[in-house]
Amino acid sequence: MKKIGLIGGLSWQSTVEYYRVINEESNRRLGGLDTVECILYSVNLATKLGRMARGEEKQLGEEFLGIGQKLVGAGADMVLLCTNTMHAVYNVLADGLPVPVIHIADATADAIKKQGLTKVALLGTPFTMTQPFYKERLKKLHGIDVITPTEEQGEEIYRVINEELTFHILKEESRRYFLGVIDELRAKGAQGAILGCTEIPLLIQQEHTDLPVFDTTVLHATAAVDAAME
């Protein structure tokens, strides 16, 4: 089996979920006490978000590439960037590393296409929702159209992510707000909703809505297990 390299800490709360899913899913398939092996490098979230906010993508890419190289040097056969937002610098890692880098949007798109959907809502950080690196990949590579919340809604979503979910604070009023946004986007034609920040699935699960939701954390982690066991 192949070893999985994880770049996490973005936030550590969702990275815990990556680690859990990878171990539970690989053990479910392998049985007994077996799991796939993984190597985790956890970063300082504040530093990386600060670079993103200041538009320092070149430096951000170089830092993540350096981390990816360390994971490969430690034996990783693939790398996962455990965050949606930081996939803004995905190409730097994919071009600079000698091992596959599994894109979170590709893993999510595979699940969307299996349900036959072509237009989905995207909830995430303002970077993910407004910049082209995520939406254009879904459209150009997978034929999936994306609609996003208003700027005001995006600001409230980001506040909840940073002030609540990053610290595993789960408030019912925040859940209702997110579900209200999802319902508005459904009225605009969304056939499903991407939970496009790896913290959002801590708050919103499929049981909370009858609209299909796509947990990017679980889908990304499961794609890594698939690749590790090929």
What's the token pair of residue 126? 């303002």
**Architecture of the domain defined by 105-216:** 3-Layer(aba) Sandwich (3.40)
State pLDDT tens for residues 110-128. 999 999 999 999 999 999 9
The CATH class given to the 4-102+218-228 domain equals alpha beta
Q: Measure the CA angle with vertex 190, ends 108 and 114; round to 5°.
A: 40
Residue 108 designated active-site: no
State pLDDT tens for residues 22-78. 999 999 999 999 999 999 999 999 999 999 999 999 999 999 999 999 999 999 999
Q: To the nearest 10°, report the CA torsion of 82, 133, 46, 10.
A: -10
How much is the mean pLDDT over the chain?
97
State pLDDT tens for residues 169-217. 999 999 999 999 999 999 999 999 999 999 999 999 999 999 999 999 9
Q: Measure the CA angle with vertex 20, ends 178 and 123; round to 5°.
A: 20
Catalytic residue among 15, 35, 83, 217: 83
pTM score of the predicted model: 0.96
Residue 38 designated active-site: no
Q: How many angstroms separate the Cα of 86 from the Cα of each of 49, 103, 204?
A: 9, 11, 21
Catalytic residue among 108, 197, 198, 217: 197
| Whether the Cβ atoms of residue 130 and residue 101 lie closer than 8 Å to each other | no
Are 4-102+218-228 and 105-216 in the same CATH fold?
Answer: yes
Distance CA 165, CA 54 (A): 23
Alpha helices (runs of H) in 6-142, residue ranges in sequence order:
12-30, 45-53, 57-73, 90-96, 104-114, 126-130, 132-142
| Whether the Cβ atoms of residue 147 and residue 189 lie closer than 8 Å to each other | yes
> Domains of the chain: which residue ranges?
4-102+218-228, 105-216
